[in-house]
Homo-oligomer: A and B are copies of this chain.
Amino acid sequence: MKDEPITAPTSGRSRPVTLATVARHAQVHVSTASRALSDDPAGVGADTVRRVRELAAVLGYRRDVGAAGLRTGSSRLIGVLVPRLTDLVLASIYESIDAAASAAGYGTVVANTLDDPDHRRTRLDAMLSRRIDGVIIGDSHIGDTAAHELRRRGVPYVLVMRKLEGHLSVTTDDHRGGHLAAEHLLALGHRRVGVIAGDQLASTGRERTLGFRRAFESAGYPLPDAYVVESAFSTPSGLEAGRQLMQLPEPPTAIFAVHDLLALGAMGAIRDAGKRVGDDVALVGYNDLDLAATLPVPLTSIRSDLQRMGTLSVDALLRGFKGETASSVLLQPELIVRATTPPLRS
């Protein structure tokens, strides 16, 4: 019986404390140590379990999930595709995804695809090389092949935020959200309105715009195409689009921006046009980010529960891992009225 000294990991050099190290100290076979350390230590004596665990703790042992994954086939890693993390909306969703995944014992890797097909391919490839267990797609786009490819390869995936026909998704009812915004503006008496529509290849931009236009149409005030301008989903892009709207011969009396950051940009455009946000030009945003409430002129917005979407998408994916089949979730948005949509002065 050779007795090895227990050197605290404090000692110094890298990390040669492997399962074998623990096993040796505990005087058991490495397989026994493995079992003792597993969640369900069946077939191992109670005292052995205790001893092994204790030793593992003292030695500072940490299971190498990579090596374990090699054996088990599961990397316990889920990949997340987003357009950009500097989009606060996606950052929020990702935060809750990461929290939920982490709680379930999974790690996450996220990639900015910049809504660009090449980036998407490259980054997805990198993920697959890491033997990702599943993917949450937050940047789906009409004509995008990522989801199809994953299906073909048999890799579980869920769409979040943006939906795509025929794929499992967790989203908010964007059509209805647009409708809510329209109803609100109609009720206030607005008739000539503009839309900053976002990316029309993303279901969010498309559906919110569509719902909005439909409502105005039904009310008898269809929007001319010039009053609907496409954009990216960033503040500068909102500024640009807002300018276009304000430069129309007859500028709108109200603007619906399909994203709060776009609304923020629109505020700048309205100011530049010499008008006041709210009193002169009403404004409705979307997503109700934290900052919407605290702006100099608090922003009316359509709230969607980002945290919830994140959590639910992880749930769905986890269910997918277990072979259960989940079905798409559609959350309901809510109108939050603030100062940017005051009653019309007559």
Contact = CB atoms under 8 A, between A and B. Distances in A.
Given A234-B290, A235-B290, A236-B290, A129 B88 contact: no
A65 interface: yes
A107 B107 CA distance: 13
Nearest to A73: B14
Interface in A109-132: 109-112, 122-123, 125-126, 128-131
Contacts of A70: 64, 66-67, 70
A153 interface: yes
Interface string A314-337: 000000000000000000000000
B154 A264 contact: no
A13 B268 contact: no
A98 interface: yes
A271 B296 CA distance: 6
Given A86-B95, A95-B84, A268 B294 contact: yes
A298 B62 CA distance: 51
A294 B240 CA distance: 10
Interface in A289-306: 290-291, 293-298
Contacts of A239: 294
A128 B65 CA distance: 10
A62 B295 contact: no
Interface residues of A, number: 65
Contacts of A152: 10, 12
A9 interface: yes
A264 B294 contact: yes
A186 interface: no
A298 B268 contact: yes
A238 interface: yes
Given A86-B92, A95-B84, A153-B15, A131 B295 contact: no
12 contacts: A62-B125, A66-B70, A70-B70, A86-B88, A102-B126, A235-B290, A236-B290, A236-B293, A264-B291, A265-B291, A267-B294, A268-B293
Interface of A: 9-10, 12-15, 62-67, 69-70, 75, 84-86, 88, 91-92, 94-95, 98-99, 102, 107-112, 122-123, 125-126, 128-131, 152-154, 234-236, 238-239, 261, 264-265, 267-271, 277, 290-291, 293-298
